[in-house]
Amino acid sequence: MAKPDPDVSRWWLGAGGLCLVALLGAGGAAARPGGILLGMPGFAVAGGVLLVTMSAGASRRGREPLIACAGLLAPALLVLSGAPLAGVRAFSGAPLLALALAGLAIVAVGVGRWPPRWVFLPVVFLLYVVVAGRVQLQVGPRGDEPHYLMVADSLLRDGDLSLERDYADRRYTAFHDAPLAPHYRVRGKDGEIYSLHAVGLSILVLPAYAAAGYVGASVFLALLAALLARELREWVRALSGRDGLAEATGWVFALSPPLLFYVGLIFTEVPAALAVAYGLRRGRQTDLGPGGALAIGLAAAALPWLNVRYVPLAGLVVLHALWHQRRLRSVLALTVPGLASAAGVLLYHHALYGFFDPRRVYGRRPELALSTLREGLPGLMLDQEFGLLVYAPVFVLAVPGLVALWRRDRALTLTAVALVAVVVFPAGSWHMWRGGFNPPGRFLVPVVAVLAVAVALLWERRGLTVGAALLVGWGLWVGLEGAGQPRLVHRDRDETAPLFRERSGAQEWTGLLPGYVLSDAHRDGLAALWGAALILAMPWRPRRPSAVRLAVAGLGGLAAAQLAAGIAEPRTGDRDAVRLVGRPALAAPGWAPVASARGEWASTALEWGPLYEPHRHPDGAALGRRLALPAGAYGLDLQGQVLGPGPSGPWLDIVPDAPGSPRRRVLLEPVPEGLAAGFRVLPGERAVTLRLGGGGPLLLEQVRVQANLSPSNRSNRPGRKAAPERETDPAGQPRERAN
């Protein structure tokens, strides 16, 4: 009789661990008194998870790495236990998808089979077109984007660069629905307004804009992003000679931030990154010939026309290529385009402004200050809204990766270090180091391909360790979340990161991550903690993934989140409690089913609690801040003791989380346990703040929110019928409702 294969049971254990974290992540989670609520994933999602897991185990080569996924059972079982720990709550719900993607990365590398090479570019481009379409629908051109389009529009309509009449005639309404003021600081020598942004990008997108307007320009830049991902893949192939490594690197970075966040955006960063990557990859060849050298020279020469800050990048690309060339014709082909470009930039500015220095279009006031580095450098890397490593922590591996690159190509390593320095330090010393209205890591995009190559060479030497897999999984999760909902990552200063505000579990990550854009007393301590965690995740030795190592790494992430909660003491209990309102869930501990989850949080989650005194809150006291509630009817119960009457009855203000949106007001009615009301969240209101105003003093104990599921339960608290609402202005005065 044949003996049972012990690997079979371990394979099923690994498959179970991968499935469990994926299902728990897809279901979501919310906080509840004494534990957490675990959401139920839909049947389609559950079927997809099972299909992917079984497909991974169908190959014998995939079973060994799948066995390592048994380590995912450790954090998953802790979440199922409902342990009252901040670290466990932080890794409940959506963030568990990062662990599931880490497990899939381990399995994919173990299997070692990738789609045919020809598939990469069309599939990535198709994906990028979809992402660009999502950006067009949810965000549209914001920040600097409409101003680049205005220059293209002026060239197309008028054949000139003067913009005063274009803005006065509101020509931007074709792609921008709000009033738009021109971006300029210095008028031209003829008194005309010219954009302070370099003209290169507008010329680059002009044919696409002429063909299909903003949509055409966005799709064209999505194509450039896909070409950048392909360029990175071919660069790794040329350096390592390993097809598997090149394919893995290409797919990982194509589906991760920051590249995935900048797909289709009318910014200069992706074209600049493509020019840098192309120039450095081709520049290693010693047999370029005049044609190849001229191509590199033209790519570098285009960089100053995209932005004056790319001048050092252009010089470094040319110098790197010159290092490998000895023939005079190749040297001339490399240098002449750059010299002609420099002369053209100077003459262009003299023709428009009467001076040669392109920096003067930004005005004469100093823009850079070394004192800003104290905030800018850690902010570029670890700020929760704009930090590169918060969204793509895998780039921390570029630091040891540069050592691996040094052993392979010293000239390229020196160039890479110089490129990073001339990008990071000026950006960090600028007061606008975050870049304005844009996704994270804007100013670092031009060098992401260089950093990704360094990461790939580290993987070549050490393999994909469990720590590196977790970094990859986090980046893939955040990247896909941001691609699906671009509004969550295309932001300006927002106090907290919208993506982590909406896509957390029973403990919101905004309270665990440092914030450098706005004042945060705990930011340095949190930055030190997560910096240490990133260092520990580095592959110090080549170790193959195993269940024990993956369990230790997963539990280490939970421990880091626990320590972060101890440093910052986040107050996000109101948002943590409402993530599953109205959905079926499982209460843990106890594993009791809940037909319709409700949100409950104590007054300790509020900045003013527990004593409400109306005279101290003329604009109302926040009961729940930026609650991401789906459109529908809800009931609110305020459990506590009413200490006395007020000059007017208490009311509830519903304040949508969108500038200019009118707030609505409903009256609160007294009930035996305190106060209660019904309210509505309207379609398009992605989040609302609830404010208590008027009435008398109240000693608040707990807030409850429950969805009204059907007319039959609207008479029962807290699922009471929504009261009539009236629009008010910020001062609480009635506002006429628009027809």
Tell me the pLDDT tens digit for each residue of 526-570. 999 999 999 999 988 888 899 999 999 999 999 999 999 999 888
pLDDT value at 709 more than 50? yes
pLDDT at position 29 is 96
Q: How far apart are CA 654 and CA 142, in angstroms?
A: 27
Residue 133 pLDDT > 90: yes
Determine the average pLDDT of the residues in 496-509.
94
Could you tell me the pLDDT band of residue 58, with boundaries at 50, 70 and 90? low
**141: left (phi > 0), else alpha (psi -120 to 50), else beta?**
beta
Q: What gap in Å lies between CA 222 and CA 218, rounded to an integer?
A: 6
Q: How confident is the model at residue 686 (pLDDT cuts 50, 70, 90)?
A: confident
Q: What CATH class does 603-728 carry?
A: mainly beta
Higher pLDDT, 495 or 246: 246
Looking at residue 714, its pLDDT comes to 38
The tens digit of pLDDT for each residue in 195-249 reads 989 999 999 999 999 999 999 999 999 999 999 999 999 999 999 999 999 999 9
DSSP state of 688: E
- Of 109-113, 205-209, 396-400, 585-589, the range with the lowest mean pLDDT is 109-113
Q: What is the structure's pLDDT at 678? A: 94
H-helix or E-strand spanning residue 249: helix 243-254
pLDDT at position 723 over 90: no
From 367-371, 467-471, 577-581, 711-715, the region with the lowest mean pLDDT: 711-715
Rounded to whole angstroms, the Cα distance separating 527 from 222 reads 33
**What residues have CB less than 8 Å from 528, skipping those under 6 apart?**
none
Average pLDDT over residues 715-728: 54
The confidence band for 725, taking pLDDT boundaries of 50, 70 and 90, is low
pLDDT at 711 exceeding the cut of 60: no
Q: What is the pLDDT confidence band of residue 47, given thresholds at 50, 70 and 90?
A: confident
739 confidence band (pLDDT: 50, 70, 90)? very low
Residue 4: pLDDT above 60?
no
Given this model, what pLDDT does residue 736 score? 46
**Higher pLDDT among residues 498 and 55, named by residue:** 498
What is the Cα–Cα distance from 389 to 695, expressed in whole angstroms? Answer: 47
Three-state SS at 77: helix
Does 718 have pLDDT greater than 50?
Answer: no
Q: List, for residues 646-669, the tens digit of each pLDDT value.
A: 788 899 999 998 777 788 999 999
pLDDT at 2 over 50: no
Mean per-residue pLDDT of the chain: 89
Where in the chain do CATH 2.60.120 domains reside?
603-728
Say which DSSP state 704 is in. E
Classified as helix, coil or strand, 29 is strand
pLDDT range class, residue 180, cuts 50, 70, 90: confident
Residue type, 188: G
Task: Report pLDDT for 168.
Answer: 87
Read off the pLDDT of each residue in 610-639 and give the average, rounded to a whole number.
92
**Cα separation values, 261 from 270, 481, 642, 709, Å:** 11, 10, 49, 37
**What are the beta bridge partners of residue 652?**
666, 692
The SS3 assignment for 437 reads coil
**Minimum mean pLDDT among 36-45, 92-101, 223-232, 552-561: which range?**
36-45
Helices then strands, counting H and E runs in the chain, come out as 25, 15
Q: Which amino acid type is present at position 186?
A: V
In contact, 403 and 454? CB cutoff 8 Å: no
Q: Give the 3-state secondary structure of residue 656.
A: strand
Contact indicator for 485, 135 with CB cutoff of 8 Å = no
Hey, is 649 helix, strand or coil? coil
Instruction: Tell me whether the omega of the peptide bond preceding residue 400 falls within 30 degrees of 0, making it cis.
Output: no
More reliable by pLDDT, 10 or 322: 322
The whole-number pLDDT of residue 713 equals 39
Q: Does 730 or 715 have the greater pLDDT score?
A: 730
